[in-house]
Amino acid sequence: MPAMRRGARQPVRGAASGLAGAVAVALFLAGCSAKPPLCASVQVMLDAASDLNPDATGRASPIVVRVYQLADTEAFGHAGFFDLYDRDRQVLGQSLLARSEATVLPGAEKVVAQPLDSRTRAVAVIAAYRDIEHAQWRRVVYVAGQGSHGIAMDLLRAAIRPDGDGDAAPGTEDSGHAKEGADDGAANAD
């Protein structure tokens, strides 16, 4: 083994450790210099009833739920279920800011989380009930401010309701009950 001269590698080792130290200090100072902004979000907590969305034999069934962030609710309020379910992006146009979809099992809980778009004025929820003509299939919750928003909804046998509330809670709109005799799933406000 060749003899190593003392200090021959010292400048390289010193430079490497000096660079690593400088990077570590820079990262530390960057982390301390400013608090990272909190990410505003919308969390829709869905709590499904055990008799959710019964089939023709009365057996509970899973349901598809969509959560929308909307800049305004005009197009959403005038659209029928199948218009939204089949062509939501076209129907909602520029009012649609974000969209998520989840399947919820009877008796289960599920959270649908989205980053909050700063232009969001309302969070809308639709559920694809089997008997859509007799279901309250949509709900709108108006949001104010740019913090995080937690919204709790009960998915009942054939209706969406604000969690623990028999009627619409403040800031919510029950606009998803099909009109009598309507064949397109159009909704009216109760």
Structural contact between residues 42 and 118, judged by C-beta atoms closer than 8 angstroms: no
The pLDDT of residue 164 is 61
- Chain segment 137-154, per-residue pLDDT in tens: 999 999 987 789 999 999
Q: How far is CA 106 from CA 24, 55, 63, 156, in A?
A: 51, 12, 8, 9
CA distance 75 to 8: 75
Mean of the per-residue pLDDT values for the chain? 79
| pLDDT of amino acid 168 | 40
Kind of pairing between the strands at 63-70 and 122-127: antiparallel
Q: What is the pLDDT of residues 68-99, one digit of tens each?
A: 999 999 999 999 999 999 999 999 999 999 99
Amino acid at 120: T
Q: Give me the residues of the chain with pLDDT under 50, please.
A: 10-13, 17, 20-37, 166-170, 178-190
For domain 41-188, give the fold: Immunoglobulin-like (2.60.40)
Q: How far apart are CA 68 and CA 122, in angstroms?
A: 8
128 and 99 in contact (C-beta within 8 Å)? Answer: no
